[in-house]
Structure 1
Amino acid sequence: MSNAKIVVEYTARRVTFHTSLPFTEVAARLEKEINKPAGGPAVFRALGVSKTKEELESNINALTDGRDFVYVSAANYFLEMPHDRWLNTYSGSSSTPRTVVYTFGNPLIAQTMLRHDLSAGLHIPPKLMLLEDATGNGTKILYDDPASVIAVPDSPGAMVSKELQTAAESLSAKMEYLVKAIVTE
């Protein structure tokens, strides 16, 4: 087999919500909604110890606590990345607005896409950025719309499966619902 390079151009959608709520409150609301205390390494343990589909579903549902998503992290992974901290260190200042990228998800939702296209794993689990307004007047919440970055053809001119598109659109709706829940004043 020869080496091959395939380039597929696609248009992604960046979604930005702005709220007058302070960064610390938005972060606390997000962490509550993604059940941060129960998530973290427990997600990887649940994935590793489950022996059946039913056991996996039960273990993940226990972690999500009735919500769509759970915080994802492991001891050796940066899945909550505070960019402002290292940028301030690098620049020798303290002027970078608080900027934290959260990684969260739900394997039960992820499988609805991965079973149709394993390359969807490039954007699963999803990420969301909290960005403190530089003027101190609130917080921005940013994410790339999952349907625009997951439902991508594997070669130029190819079609995306309807099942993958539908599953990615469902994730997009869940992401928007999450953000609206944390910014509602």
Structure 2
Amino acid sequence: MKAEAKMETQPFTGKRIVVRTPRGVDDVLNRFRSVMGSTTVPDILALAKAWPSEAEFKRQVEERFVGESGFMLFHVIDHSGWLPIYGIKRRAVRWILGNPLLAITMIRHDITAGLFAPVEVLVTDNLEGGGSTITYVLPSSLMVIGENKPLLDAALDLDKKLAALVAHGAAD
């Protein structure tokens, strides 16, 4: 007997957070960068291989990569380089950021939380009046779609950390 794949739809509602600031895109990104570490996913995987104990992995991640905000930058996608081809003359920079030490606090309670860790932030310039807009989706609204208090608690903690980073980037 041949096993068949089964597909299930699990609806959920994400919450998009939009923060407008008088700061320009570069200023916001520089403020983010000032409180974040930076690495790549391959670097994290190499570290896990070199330091396979939980305690040592944690120590190495914190020493090498984690910034004051608790986050590290994994990747930048600057849409601004190709948007003008389509007549869109705006800055649009997407940052993928996170921390495996934060991610595990959620993934240990629901492996599918890994679909939304790391998190993403989009910084765009405003069409009128200068300044920029920071947009992200509230992590807990993506990760927690059923009863799971430990996951919810960890995701709400991530929500707070991400909101604090965004507030730092947007602050006057």
Higher strand share: 2
CA distance in 2 between partners of 1:8 and 1:108 (Å): 27
What TM-score comes out, normalization by structure 2 length? 0.90
CA distance in 1 between partners of 2:125 and 2:46 (Å): 33
1:175 aligns with 2:162: yes
CA distance in 1 between partners of 2:35 and 2:68 (Å): 10
1:162 aligns with 2:164: no
CA distance in 2 between partners of 1:65 and 1:173 (Å): 16
Percent identity of equivalent pairs? 24
What TM-score comes out, normalization by structure 1 length? 0.84
In the alignment, structure 2 segments of 5+ residues that lack a partner are none
Equivalent position of 1:107 in the other structure: 100
Runs of 4+ in 1 over 3 A off after TM superposition: 40-45
Q: For the structure 1 residues 131 and 44, does the alpha-carbon distance in structure 2 shift closer, same or farther, using more than 3 Å as the test?
A: farther
Matches within 5 A, 1:132-171: 132-135=125-128, 137-152=130-145, 159-171=146-158
Q: For the structure 1 residues 122 and 50, does the alpha-carbon distance in structure 2 shift closer, same or farther, using more than 3 Å as the test?
A: same
1:56 aligns with 2:57: yes
User: What amino acid sits opposite 2:79 in the alignment?
Assistant: H
CA distance in 2 between partners of 1:66 and 1:20 (Å): 24
The CA deviation string for residues 104-158 of structure 1, in whole angstroms up to 9 with x for no partner, is 1111100000011111111100011111112251010010000100112xxxxxx
1:47 aligns with 2:44: no
| SS of equivalent residue, structure 1 residue 81 | strand
In the alignment, structure 1 segments of 5+ residues that lack a partner are 73-78, 153-158
User: What amino acid sits opposite 1:45 in the alignment?
Assistant: A
User: What amino acid sits opposite 1:180 in the alignment?
Assistant: A
Tell me which moved more, 2-11 or 104-113: 2-11
The CA deviation string for residues 67-107 of structure 1, in whole angstroms up to 9 with x for no partner, is 310111xxxxxx2111121222x32x5x4211011001111
CA shift for structure 1 position 184: 1.3
User: What amino acid sits opposite 2:59 in the alignment?
Assistant: S
User: What amino acid sits opposite 2:121 in the alignment?
Assistant: L
CA shift for structure 1 position 66: 3.9
**Which of 8, 15, 18 is the equivalent residue of 2:10?**
8
Kept in 1, the 8 Å contact 2:20–2:131? The answer is yes
CA distance in 2 between partners of 1:33 and 1:85 (Å): 26
Q: For the structure 1 residues 51 and 4, does the alpha-carbon distance in structure 2 shift closer, same or farther, using more than 3 Å as the test?
A: same
Equivalent position of 1:116 in the other structure: 109
User: What amino acid sits opposite 2:142 in the alignment?
Assistant: V
* RMSD over aligned Cα atoms: 1.6
